Amino acid sequence: MKRGTIKKLRFFCKMMWELLQITILRTNSKIVGTYTFRNFFNHQIHVSL
């Protein structure tokens, strides 16, 4: 392999890894956000009853 090809491959892998991390973080924050809101909402209902 040429040196330039290896550099491009490393750059591509790094970009793909970062994209994957961003996707995972977004998914986790949606799950956590939904879960937190649901708990907060349920807690408010129990307090007012």
Distances (CA, A) of 12 to 8, 9, 45: 6, 5, 50
42 versus 18: the higher-pLDDT residue is: 18
For the CA atoms of 7, 13, 17, 23, what is the dihedral angle to 10 degrees? 120
Angle formed at CA 13 by CA 9 and CA 22, multiple of 5 degrees: 155
Domain limits at 38?
1-49
- Predicted confidence at residue 42, as pLDDT, reads 73
pLDDT, tens only, 3-38: 899 899 999 999 999 999 988 888 877 777 776 767
CA distance 40 to 34: 10
Angle formed at CA 17 by CA 14 and CA 19, multiple of 5 degrees: 110
Number of structural domains (the chain) is 1
